[in-house]
Amino acid sequence: MLAGMGFGLLFAAIGQVPEVAGYWPLAVTQSVALVSVMVTASLLGDSWRPRTPLEVGGGVVAGAMATVAALCFLLATQTGLMTVAAVLTALYPAVTVLLAALLLRERMQAGQAVGLALCLLCVALVSAG
């Protein structure tokens, strides 16, 4: 729930960024994310530094993907595609479930399958207008 509120706050804030601000808001959001991870890990008594090359690579890939996603969302809000961007952005949990099923061979529960199907239906309905 906390992550969902964080994403909602991020998207609401990015939606308020004027076009003249350029890409500075993305630099700020990524910096805040880095500090948040460091503080949270420290409070939980864990190290925030990656320990293996795989962790370094995973962190770089995840950070790059998050930055590209935030950039796409920012551009969508500035070009008037906010409704489509908001719906597609809300589908991020579906990607997690699909990746877990494909890469980790996790079995999808009936409720998850129904939820994914409903999400796809909603995206189609929003896209259709």
Please tell me the distance from the alpha carbon of residue 106 to that of residue 98, in angstroms, as a whole number: 9
pLDDT of 44? 92
One digit per residue, the tens of pLDDT, for the chain of length 129 reads: 777 777 778 777 777 788 788 888 888 888 888 898 899 999 999 888 888 999 889 888 988 888 888 888 788 877 777 777 777 777 777 777 888 888 888 888 888 888 888 878 877 787 676
In the block, tokens 């509120």 appear at 5
Predicted confidence at residue 28, as pLDDT, reads 86
Whole-number pLDDT of residue 13: 79
Predicted pLDDT of residue 42: 92
Query: Number of C-alpha atoms within 13 angstroms, CB side, residue 89?
Result: 25
The whole-number pLDDT of residue 88 equals: 73
Where do the structural domains in the chain lie, given as residue ranges?
Answer: 1-81, 91-129
